[in-house]
Structure 1
Amino acid sequence: MTIPIDDALARLDGALARLEAAVARRLDADAAPDDRDAELAIMGEDRARLAAALDLASARLATVEATTDQVGRRLDRAIEAVEGVLHPAEETHRPA
């Protein structure tokens, strides 16, 4: 015949073992970074890197556009000068 106190102590020991295992699992889960948090951190870093690259590319594009405009104006002036040398009579008869 089992004494009721012995049964209660056995059940208590089992419950404590399960509780200790659950606490250990929880501590392990809290200690290891969540995959989602790590992925979000990586995405944040990628976003910052891509934003910096986009800013740099935009600045380069603005510089290229300004240079292209300047070169276009210089070419127009050069073409007009060459045409003026090649056809000086037409310059005097051109309507204004």
Structure 2
Amino acid sequence: MPTEKSVDAALVALRQAVAGLENAVDMRFEAERENNEIDGEVRRVHADRARLAQELDQSEFRANRLEEVNREVSRRLVTAMETIRAVLDR
């Protein structure tokens, strides 16, 4: 009888250990899945950041170009007004 009890106790301990191991494996798989999701999100954020940086650079270039064109138009308007004044003063 004592041998049966120790075998039963050993089987119970073995079942608990296997259940604990299965639980640990499940938790590890879940953590790995979450890490993969986080890695994917980080990659998407980096891609968005790169795209936004490129768009910002393009916008800054366009703004600078518009500023240059604006200065040129202003210069031409001043020249035109001066020409008109000179013609009117004659």
2:68 to 62, 66, 76: 66
Would you say 1:75 and 2:77 are equivalent positions? yes
Report the structure number with the largest CA radius of gyration: 1
Q: Which residue of 2 aligns with 1:11?
A: 13
Alpha-carbon RMSD across the aligned residues, in angstroms, is: 1.9
**Structure 2 residue matching 1:3: 3-state secondary structure:** helix
* Distance apart, 1:16 and its partner CA: 1.5
Q: Which amino acid aligns with 2:55?
A: A
- Measured against aligned partners, the alpha-carbon deviations of 1:45-77 in whole angstroms (never above 9, x if no partner) come to 221121111101101011101111111111111
C-alpha distance in 1, partners of 2:26/2:34? 16
Inter-partner Cα distance in structure 2 for 1:80 and 1:17: 93
The equivalent of 1:37 in structure 2 is 39
Q: TM-score, normalised by structure 2?
A: 0.78
Comparing 75-84 with 20-29, greater Cα deviation is found at 20-29
Q: TM-score, normalised by structure 1?
A: 0.74
Q: What residue ranges of structure 1 are gaps of 5+ in the alignment?
A: 89-96
Q: Percent identity over the alignment?
A: 38
Q: Distance in 1 between matches of 2:21 and 2:34?
A: 23
